[in-house]
Amino acid sequence: MDLFEGNLELKEIQKLEGHTDRVWSLAWNPTTGVSGIPAMLASCSGDKTVRIWQQNGHSWECKAILDETHTRTVRSCAWSPSGKLLATASFDATTAIWENVGGDFECVATLEGHENEVKSVSWNASGSLLATCSRDKSVWIWEVMPGNEFECVSVLQGHTQDVKMVQWHPNMDILFSCSYDNTIKIWAEDGDSDDWHCVQTISEANNGHSSTVWALSFNSKGDRMVTCSDDLTLKIWESDSKTTSPVGDGYAPWIHVSTLSGYHDRTIFSVHWSREGIIASGAADDAIRFFIENKDGLIDGPSYKLLLKKEKAHDMDVNSVQWISKETRLLASASDDGTIKIWELASLP
């Protein structure tokens, strides 16, 4: 039987309250579900804090509030692949690195250098590199050194506006950045010189977005990417990942394969692709949408269809949607209404 046959519903499991301002971003700890480790979720907010939530049976509890480091909005958070370190990016122009020491979180490093708001932070698959981006139009790549030291190895200039998000490819050291300048830039290291350079720019001229690109996400194989924008569309991109080597002439460009439009009527802020192939999107229309690939085979190339829609998922803008990293259909969403919701995509009996 097809995974997606029958009727599905989005069940609200719990509403997490505690932040006193909008919640910008969410990150599930990647060790969730490994050898019985309870699920852990980080959230960051305009209230200058980061909260760590942990699953206890069927409910989530706030286990820690990280509130002594950032002096302005915390815009983005990301766990290292080991789940031991949490990076948080703030409008105070710094990125903080927190280490989980026996359940207590200590700030072990503060990364400085951006001229103003840091908008996003992302670890590469091995945890050896960290990327940050800012309203100063730059993307920085930091090398993780022994003893929780971080060294900036490259400052990437190429965007002409505020950079909204950075995201590493799931299994290659290729970095993607999306910006207020309506483009997505793809960066790779030059094998000869250790310098990083832009290997592709996706813009409106090559089927890209016509307004701010807010976020992107990869499928589990890493050969498709979804992007979302202020232009009210989601776009699907494909690359032959077998030949997408980070260096030299082997780079296989990302090509546009599908556009989803007409599903949200306000800015789409967040998009996330689950391991089993469900795309979730959250937008300023307070709604969450779910899409899957249309397997009917009537159209050349991949196409996607609406699986489910949840109107009024929150009372205000939905800023972040994140699938849990293990093989369950749990989704977390964060909103301008100051709350986080944990949902389950469940089959109706």
Predicted local confidence at residue 275, as pLDDT = 92
Specify the 3-state DSSP secondary structure of 226: strand
Q: Is 282 exposed, middle or buried (0-12, 13-18, 19+ CB in 10 A)?
A: buried
Task: Classify 17-285 by CATH class.
Answer: mainly beta
Asked if residue 234 lies in contact with residue 268, where contact means CB atoms within 8 angstroms, the answer is: yes
For 274, phi then psi, to 5°, come to -80, 165
Domain spans of the chain, in order of start: 17-285
Q: What is the rounded average pLDDT for all residues in the chain?
A: 93
pTM reported for the whole predicted model: 0.95
Q: What is the pLDDT of residues 305-347, one digit of tens each?
A: 999 999 999 999 999 999 998 777 999 999 999 999 999 999 8
Answer whether residue 1 shows pLDDT above 50: no
Structure tokens given for 1: 């039987």
User: What percent of the chain has a predicted confidence (pLDDT) above 70?
Assistant: 94
SS3 of 280-326: EEEECCCCEEEEEECCCCCCCCCCEEEEEEECCCCCCCEEEEEECCC
**What is the pLDDT confidence band of residue 249, given thresholds at 50, 70 and 90?**
low
Q: Which residue has the higher pLDDT, 288 or 1?
A: 288
Count of positions (residues) in the chain: 349
Residue with tokens 């300048």: 181
Asked if residue 181 lies in contact with residue 168, where contact means CB atoms within 8 angstroms, the answer is: no
- Using alpha carbons, select from 289, 305, 309 the residue that is nearest to residue 297: 305
Sign (positive or negative) of CA dihedral 43, 34, 109, 67: positive
Asked if residue 325 lies in contact with residue 17, where contact means CB atoms within 8 angstroms, the answer is: no
Q: What is the pLDDT of residues 104-146, one digit of tens each?
A: 999 999 999 999 999 999 999 999 999 999 999 999 999 999 9
Cα 246 from Cα 252, distance rounded (Å): 9
**What is the pLDDT confidence band of residue 274, given thresholds at 50, 70 and 90?**
very high
Asked if residue 203 lies in contact with residue 161, where contact means CB atoms within 8 angstroms, the answer is: no
| Per-residue CA distances from 25 to 51, 90, 190, 262, 304 (Å) | 11, 11, 32, 25, 26
Answer whether residue 219 shows pLDDT above 80: yes
Predicted local confidence at residue 296, as pLDDT = 76
Give me the mean pLDDT over the 15-33 stretch.
94
For 49, phi then psi, to 5°, come to -115, 160
Predicted local confidence at residue 48, as pLDDT = 98
